[in-house]
Amino acid sequence: MKFARLSYRPQWAILLACLFTLLIAHSACTTPTVPPRHQEPQNDAPVILYLRAQKQIAPLETSQIRCVTAESNDSMLNYEWSATGGQIQGKGDVVAWTAPDTTGDYTVTVVVRSNKGSEATSSVTITVTDKPNRPPIIHSVTCPDCTNGTQASKWKTYSIQCDASDPEGDNLTYQWSVTIGKIIGDGQLVTWQTFDQSGYAVIMVKVRDDKGNEAEGRLAFNISCCN
């Protein structure tokens, strides 16, 4: 009696054959991945922080207007100024605007363009009136505790004082900032705390009246190891 010879295939061989079949089927159905196209980064538009201008002036009076931007290299920017009345003299980030002889509200606009073509726009409204409210006057910003008034040391505290007044006697508020260290307090007299950083520091103060007019003062220092 003869028996048919059965072929025997190990289990691992069967599994390998199935895996090979699945890989072929997957590669036939899968769309090849196309790498994304390289795109040049877009140029960011200039950032206008604010326009500093007197809120009210008299007819035919001339007032300075400054455009403050966040750009570190201001020479790379172009400024185009326009107004709904009056005349603008000058160019760049600071111009002079002469009011018309008619009272009313007038808008001064600046378009700031970078050398790569991007731009930003900002406007300020100035009231021309026969009795304008004048901005505060900053007489001085001083550091009585500093050596020669401008020399400071690391890890010390100093008193900083702003002497200001308002022509109409309006209430004044003070906004302080510093490039190195920390300002503590508010009002005319504050405390400046230095830390471990040395170098050139600038303290700035904005004095505002309750009509929205403001003036800005600053004081520069040299921070060294010890004085």
Q: What is the CATH number of domain 48-128?
A: 2.60.40.1080
What pLDDT score does 38 carry? 44
What pLDDT score does 211 carry? 87
What pLDDT score does 73 carry? 65
Q: Which of 170, 188, 206, 162 is nearest to 56 (CA)?
A: 170
Matching fold, domains 48-128 and 137-224: yes
What pLDDT score does 74 carry? 64
What pLDDT score does 40 carry? 44
pLDDT digits (tens, 9 = 90+) for 38-74: 444 445 788 999 898 999 999 999 999 999 998 766 6
What pLDDT score does 16 carry? 56
Domain 137-224 fold is: Immunoglobulin-like (2.60.40)
Q: pTM of whole model > 0.85?
A: no
What pLDDT score does 17 carry? 57
- Give the residue extent of every domain in the chain: 48-128, 137-224
What pLDDT score does 45 carry? 82
d(CA 157, CA 192): 5
Instruction: Return averaged pLDDT per consecutive 10 residues of the chain, 227 residues in all.
Output: 48 56 50 48 75 93 93 80 96 95 97 90 95 94 92 95 95 96 96 94 95 92 83
What is each CA distance from 113 to 46, 80, 117, 123, in whole angstroms? 7, 8, 6, 15
What pLDDT score does 51 carry? 92
What pLDDT score does 27 carry? 47
